Amino acid sequence: MQNVLVVVPCYNEAKRLDGAAFVQFARANPEVRFLFVDDGSSDGTASMLEQMTAQLPRQLLWFSLPHNRGKAEAVRQGFLRAFAAEPVPAAVGFWDADLATPLVDIPAFAAVLAQNARLLAVFGSRVNLLGRDVKRRLWRHYLGRVFATAASAVLRLPIYDTQCGAKLLRVTPEVQAVFDRPFVSPWIFDVEIIARLRDRLLAAGGPAARDVIYEYPLLIWRDVAGSKVRLRHFVSVFFDLLRIWWRGGRT
């Protein structure tokens, strides 16, 4: 698949953002562009993005939000700009700036979309199978499994991992409509993406969400130090899950 644009939300990432990795990958993969969203950072993130993107201005793009609005809104604003980009991308995704998921998976995700025209989305899934190298802190793994079970029940979909920060979506009217309004939750907007897409397809008489979303088991994933998610946030996300269900994540 040619012409892929990947949104990278950045908030105080000056110490974790591997600019050289993005530049190296972009040089080797001219069909992929990156759009970095500086979410009102208070460190040197903006300066770092300016220097990095100047090296490949046609492939590495960036803009700043005037103040911190959270990952959900940073991603949404990035998608809105991506949809208006020239040339219009065939697929738009988002990728965590810490590269917990390696960039080499972007072509793999794009290949899955290219090989199956019915698919609308490919999501990274952190499944520690034999032959995989997925490393997560133990408490995050077990709390994540509890949350994933609850999210699957709310969505009524057998999805294993809603929260992996590596996703790629085909640009279609249904996908664009998912991002037309702010998300309810700043932390689990991934669940809202799935719920909104499911409901859009249902309203249009289209295919079921389970038939257009593909979970891609990652070969490598690293729990990188410095994550903004803390143990206390796991309490609020369950309330957010209820809000998603009540305010539109249900049919």
pLDDT in tens, 21-69: 999 999 999 999 999 999 999 999 999 999 999 999 999 999 999 999 9
251 in a structural domain: no
66 in a structural domain: yes
Beta carbons of 60 and 34 less than 8 angstroms apart = yes
pTM reported for the whole predicted model: 0.92
Q: Count the domains in the chain.
A: 1
- Alpha-carbon distance 130 to 77, whole Å? 38
What are 181-218's pLDDT values in tens digits?
999 988 899 999 999 999 999 999 999 999 999 999 99
At 63 the three-state DSSP class reads strand
222 in the Ramachandran plot: left (φ > 0), alpha (ψ -120 to 50) or beta?
Answer: beta
Q: Which residues are paired to 81 by β-bridges?
A: none
Domain range holding 193? Answer: 4-246
Strands 166-170 and 213-217 come out as: unpaired
154 in a structural domain: yes
Res. 242 pLDDT band, cuts 50 70 90: confident
249 pLDDT above the threshold of 60: no
235 in a structural domain: yes
- Alpha-carbon distance 143 to 156, whole Å? 20
Q: Evaluate the omega torsion of the peptide bond into residue 87 and state whether it is cis, within 30 degrees of 0.
A: yes
At 147 the three-state DSSP class reads helix
31 in a structural domain: yes
251 or 151, greater pLDDT:
151
Look up the CATH number of the domain holding residue 115.
3.90.550.10
Of the candidates 88, 242, 76, the one whose C-alpha atom is nearest the C-alpha of residue 167 is 76
pLDDT score of 145: 85
pLDDT score of 99: 96
Name, in order, each residue with C-beta under 8 angstroms of 114's C-beta and a sequence gap of 6 or more: 1
Secondary structure (DSSP) of 165-206 = SEEEEE--HHHHHHTSS--S-SS-HHHHHHHHHHHHHHHTT-
Beta carbons of 99 and 223 less than 8 angstroms apart = no
193 in a structural domain: yes
Q: In the predicted model, what is the mean pLDDT of the chain?
A: 91
What are 149-165's pLDDT values in tens digits?
999 999 999 999 999 99
At 113 the three-state DSSP class reads helix
- Alpha-carbon distance 135 to 34, whole Å? 26
